[in-house]
Chains A and B, each alone.
Chain A
Amino acid sequence: MNASSPVEDFHAWPDAQGRFGDYGGSFVAETLMAPLAELTEAYTRLRSDPEFVAELDRDLAHYVGRPSPIYYAERLSREVGGARIILKREDLNHTGAHKINNTVGQALLARHMGKPRVIAETGAGQHGVATATVAARLGLKCVVYMGATDIERQKINVYRMKLLGAEVVPVTSGSKTLKDALNEALRDWVTNVADTFYIIGTVAGPHPYPMMVRDFNAIVGREARAQMQEQFGRLPDVVTACVGGGSNAMGIFHAFLNDRDVRLVGAEAAGEGLSSGHHAASLAAGRPGVLHGNRTYLLCDDDGQITETHSISAGLDYPGVGPEHAFLKDAGRAEYLGISDDEAMEAFHRLCRTEGILPALESSHAVAQAIKLARELPKDGLVLCNLSGRGDKDVHTIAAREGIEL
């Protein structure tokens, strides 16, 4: 894409090489090119296979619990004093987040490809749990790579994965967090390609992952778009979602990409503030580079070394971002703004108090962004916010931050 030429159809991306304009692609070691080609071929074939689609739809309906409702947060909206805030309730899915939409799809793909073993990387453990869950259901062997630092921070999810029959492998290289878990999972895959399927948890990584993970999550936006028409008689003025790797945001944005009047706003983790250096806002404060198989915005120093990130929310604590978000940013189709730890915490409490909904810390960033956006709009305005996950997993983190011993 030439940066100056306007994008005609946002649904036409990526191209055959997996590029979203200047971003995406397949920047991987030679040994991964063959398994990626095999995966692309299988996915391209199965995505239009009526039997596969029916099987996936059945699982989404009866195992995941789709469709998830949209919910008008009336008390929250009134308290904020602006437009109406509508929540897309992905927190009500089985396992408590949008992550399962993708793992159900990829695990079915693994079974169709005859791969008896699945691997995954995880940061907070949500994607690891969602992978272990579908692996248990399909009888697949499951290995989850997790940074040693994250294992310490997320003991409950580690135990959940073990209960589900997964092996959790601590990663002690680099910063011992999500990015290193992803490196380690890629190393496993390269070594065990014959029997192993790598379930990536976000819209990053080499082609076809950004496209495939987006496709599996796009049901969120398709449902929400129809639900808005049905219940409010029109599309929302703005759609917002939190962005770490960016899978829930891509999922809800996708159906709206060609609705040019609908503003799209991603909420990145500004941590202790964009100027503090302690954040994970790759789009708002990073630069284009190459990491984990794709060209995208990332956080690195002037010598190209990836820098450590910070967010109160482990799920947003990643130095890169999906390439399609990079593309949408440069094309001016979506905006990406920072929400600090404190703002996310405030939104967390506000949603608990006004609506009886305990959001994940990741999703609290989206709620904080929705509150800001609602204030800018008239009372009859509509802000659609993806409530990507529930916050039970974060109760310990929140208590510790507030000095409360459980």
Chain B
Amino acid sequence: MSTAIDNRLDRRFTALKAAGRTGLVPFITAGDPAPELTVPVMHALVAAGADVIELGMPFSDPMADGPVIQHASERALRHGVSVAQVLEWVRAFRRDDAETPVVLMGYLNPVEIMGVERFAASAADAGVDGVLLVDCPIEEDATAAPLREAGLRRILLTAPTTAEARLQRACELAEGFLYYVSFAGITGAARLSVDAIAERVADIRKRSRAPVAVGFGVRDADSARAIAAFADAVVIGSALVESLAGSEDAGQVEQRVRTFLEPIRTALDR
């Protein structure tokens, strides 16, 4: 069975649990703000306290994303960023970082056009640990089967609107971590009812064999700290992408990563 294959994600979450720490999972769009900055940003994220890196593969039609990530995607595509290029950046990152798990997040079509099997093999070879396909729900699980076979963790999403039977199924299939979307909306929107999320996450954690990461609407140290009280990890996307937009060189982007992420890391560890 694929989960028997050693995976950085599993090791990282086991270590976090042992240390009693909440995982910090920043999201960036590959190729934004500039292609040559992607690998430096990944290292800067680790230096500022990231436990897992979520790397967005740009797509022309990101229907589940809000304006911030849409624009980041458009900028990256204008730079000609391809799936193959994203995998090359992961390979380059791995040369200096053998431990930090990397999860690719994206939409199905670029993966299908490359061929799911070919993508899975290339991603595993480049050092990717998990893949989250936004528009591939558990009903279409067969499409994603080659990912598991290549030893990659298929990261699944659940939402406040997920019906009971489907939630149970997602908890059973979950591997790597289970991504809980904290409200029904697109990425980057700013609505959080912490009590409601806490209750739901507590229920999911009881049933899921994988740790639970909470995202969508987490913007800063305070919102991250509130989520950390009950989640295994916190995902931060739009607010980070927004803060990095327009950076001109590695020095500037690394400074912005520190300014943004370090207070969140501190808040999580408090």
* Interface: A108 (CB within 8 A): no
Other-chain contact of A187, B66, B83, B111, B159 (Cβ < 8 Å): B66
Which one, A260-268, A296-304, A327-335, A350-358, is touching chain B?
Answer: A296-304
* Interface: B124 (CB within 8 A): no
Residues in A neighbouring B163, C-beta threshold 8 A: 33-34, 37
Residues of A within 8 Å of B, CB-based: how many? 37
Which one, A83-91, A245-253, A285-293, A374-382, is touching chain B?
Answer: A285-293
**Complex: how many Å from CA A306 to CA B58?**
12
Question: Shortest CB–CB separation between residue A285 and chain B, in angstroms?
Answer: 15
* A290 with B109, Cβ < 8 A, contacts A174-B74, A304-B114 known: yes
Which one, A6-14, A24-32, A393-401, is touching chain B?
Answer: A24-32
Contact A290 B135 (CB under 8 A): yes
Q: How large is the interface on B (under 10, 10 to 19, 20 to 34, 35 or more residues)?
A: 35 or more
Other-chain contact of B162, A17, A27, A33 (Cβ < 8 Å): A33
Other-chain contact of B63, A34, A287, A292, A300 (Cβ < 8 Å): A292
Contact A303 B166 (CB under 8 A): no
Which one, B5-13, B31-39, B182-190, is touching chain A?
Answer: B182-190
Contact A289 B112 (CB under 8 A): yes
Contact B112 A193 (CB under 8 A): no
List residues of B (74-109) whose CB comes within 8 Å of A's CBs. 74, 77, 82-84, 107-109
Residues in A neighbouring B135, C-beta threshold 8 A: 27-29, 290, 293
Chain B's closest residue to A307 (CB) is B60
* Interface: A136 (CB within 8 A): no
Other-chain contact of A304, B71, B83, B137, B139 (Cβ < 8 Å): B83
Contact B67 A173 (CB under 8 A): yes
The interface centre, meaning the residue of A179, A183, A187, A291 with most chain B CB atoms within 10 A of its CB, is A187
Residues on A lying within 8 angstroms of B by beta carbon are 17, 25-31, 33-35, 37, 173-174, 179-180, 182-183, 186-187, 190-191, 193, 287-293, 298, 300, 302-306
Q: Which 4 A-B pairs have CB atoms at the shortest separation, nearest pair first? A: A304-B110, A304-B113, A34-B161, A29-B64
Other contacts beyond A306-B60, A306-B61: 20, CB < 8 A: A17-B139, A25-B140, A26-B139, A27-B135, A28-B63, A30-B159, A31-B161, A33-B137, A33-B162, A37-B163, A182-B63, A186-B63, A187-B66, A187-B186, A191-B184, A191-B185, A298-B109, A303-B82, A304-B110, A306-B109
